[in-house]
Structure 1
C-alpha cells in the first residue's frame, strides 16, 4: 500500500455512501448497545421471573451468565470469520440470529427453554459486537479513533440507563416477555443498518488462507505479550461490574425492599453519571501520563469496593453513592484501554477484537457467578469482589509497567 495507515483508515471512515460518517458512528454505538440492552432491560423482572417459572435465583441468573458465556464463544468464532469474509456478511447473519432468538425468548415456555434461547441470542450478539470494534479500527486511527471510541461508548452508556427504566415500564402493562419483544424490534433496526452498511475491510487486508487458518490467527494474536497481558488486566478489572449487573435487582428489591420501578431509577442514575466517563477522559485526562492514569483509576475502583462493604450495606442511597466510584472509574478507563489494546496489534484486527471481547465476557461471566453465590450479605459480597479484583488489577498493571515487555502508547518502544 502506498498510503500511510492513518490516511487509509481516515479515508475508509468517510466512505459510507448510505450511512455517512455520522450514521456510521450511530451504527457502531447501536451495535455496542446490544449487550447492555440484552441484559439490563429485563433486570427489573428477574425477581418476578423466579415466581413465574418456579425457579431459584441461581437458575434464573443462568439466563444472564449463559448469555455472556456463549456471547464470549460467539465473539471468538465470528471475529476471525470477519477477517476472511468481511464485516458486512457477519453483521447480517448475527442480526438475523439475534432477532430469531429474541422471539424465541419471548415465547419461552419454561426457564430452560429461555436459557437455551438466550444462548443463541448471545452467539448472535457476539457477531454484532466483535465486528463493531473491528469497524472502528478499520475506519479510524490515532487520536481520532480515541475520540470516536469515547463518543460511541458514551452513547452506548445510554443503554444501561434507559434499559431498566423501559423494562420497569414494560412490567407495568406487560410481563417479562415484553422486554424480549422489544429486543426483537431493536434487532430488526440493526439489521436495516447492516444492509445499508458498506464494507470497511479492504480487499488487500482480508485473510486469504483457509477457514481453519483464519481461526489460527487467534493464536498468533494471543502470543503478542504486549497485547494479551494488558487485555487480561483490563478484563480482570471489569469482573466486579458484571457482578453488580447480576445482583443489582436483588440488592435494591430484595435486600433494601424497593419496588422494581424504583430500582430502575437507581440503576439509571448510576448509568447517567457513567456516560460522562469517556468524555472526562478525552477532555481532561487523555494527555495524562498513561502509567499514572491507569493506576489512579484502579485505585479509585478499589476504594469504591471498601465503601460498598461498609457504608453501602446501610441504605440504598449509600450503596449507590459507594458504587458510583467504581462505575465511573470503569467508563473513564474504557476509551484508553480499548485504544491501547488496538494499538498493540497492527493487523488481524478482527481476531484481536475477538480476543478482547472474549476475555472481557469470560471474566464478566465469572463475576456474575461469584456475585450470585450465597454471601450471607449480598452487598458485602459485591463490595468484597470489587475490592479484591480492582486491587489485583492495580498490582498487575504496575508489575506490567515495570516489566521489559513493550507497550505502544505507554512505554517508549514498539510492539512485538
Structure 2
C-alpha cells in the first residue's frame, strides 16, 4: 500500500532552535510509521534568532524538503538596530515604559504594515511554487503551522484554488495571544487581523490546537472541527546524568520581563535568610535568555549570589540540565491571555523524573496536566505561604535523599502517540 503524501508548510525547521521547531520536527519523524509520507516546505534563507545544529539529527536523509527564498523585514530593520531587531524577532517585547523610540516605531510598523506578521511576503511566491508542485505530484493534503500565522494564508489560497484537504495547526493563538496586544495596532489593522483569523478558521477542513483553552476560544469563532493535540516528549538519548549535589532549582527557557514571579523570589530570599543550611545548599540555575527586569527583581531580593546564569544551550544540553536538577521551575506570565499556553518543555520536564514547581494564572491547562500526571505542583502568584511550605518540604526530601516524583499516565504525551492521533485526522 502506497503511503499518503502530505505537504507540511512550516517556518521553523532545523537549524532553527527554540521551542517552535520541535512540534513538527517530531511529527515528521514519526509520520512514516503510520503510512504517511511527509514533504516539508520551508524558507531557503530564514532569519532564525536562535539556531541549534543538534536538531538536524532528527531529520531523515530520506525526507523531501522543499525550499524557496523569503524576504524578511527583520534583516532590513537590523541595519538600524541589530539588537532591537533580534529581540523583537524572538517575540521579546519590552515593557512600554522601557521602549525606545526605535522599538516603538518597529512595533508600530510590524503590527500595522506586516499583517498578519513579518513573513507575509513569503505567501505569494510560496503559493505560486506550491500550486505547480502539488498538481505535478498529486498531493491532496496540506498542513500549515503557525505562528507565523502568515503561513496559514498559504494554506488558505491553496485550498481556494485546488480544493484540497487543509489542516491549520495553531501552536499558539492568533489575535488573543499576549504580545498581539503590544503591537500598537490601529483599528483598521486590528480588524484585518481578526478578519484573516476568522477566514482561516472557517475555511480549513480541520483546525488543530495545542490546548483546551484555545479550542474553547476558537469554537466561538468557527463550527469547523477542532482537535487538541498537545506538544509532547520524545525519547532523548543524552548520556548518563548525575543529580546535582546542591539543592538546585532550574528554569529552562526564556524568562521574559513579565514572566517574573515576585512571590517566588521573596520565598527563596526568606528561606535563605531564615535557614543557614538551606542557604548553603541552594542554587538557582537559569538556562536560557533572562530579561534585565527579572535579574533586577532577583537582585532586589538578594539572590544574585545564588544564581548560575547559564544562557542559551542546545536542546540536548537543556535535557541534561532537566535531568540533573533537583527541582524544575515552570513559570508563565500571570495573565488571562496565557491560560492557553502549554510550554513544550512541560512534557520534557514530566519525563525527566524531577519534581516540577509551576507558577501561572488560574485556570491554566498546565495546572490540569500536572494534577493529571502527578508530576508537580502548581501555584498562583499570590501563594506565598503554600509555595514556601512546598519548597521547604522538597528541601527536606532532598536532605533525606528521597526527592522524586511519582508520575502516572505519561505515555499519551509521547511524540509517537501524538503523531498517531494526527495520522487519524489525515
State the TM bucket, normalised to the shorter chain: under 0.3
> TM-score normalized by structure 2?
0.25
Q: Which has the higher contact order (CA 8 A, sep 6+)?
A: 1
TM-score (norm 1): 0.26
- Higher strand proportion: 2
More helix by share: 1
Bigger Rg over Cα: 2
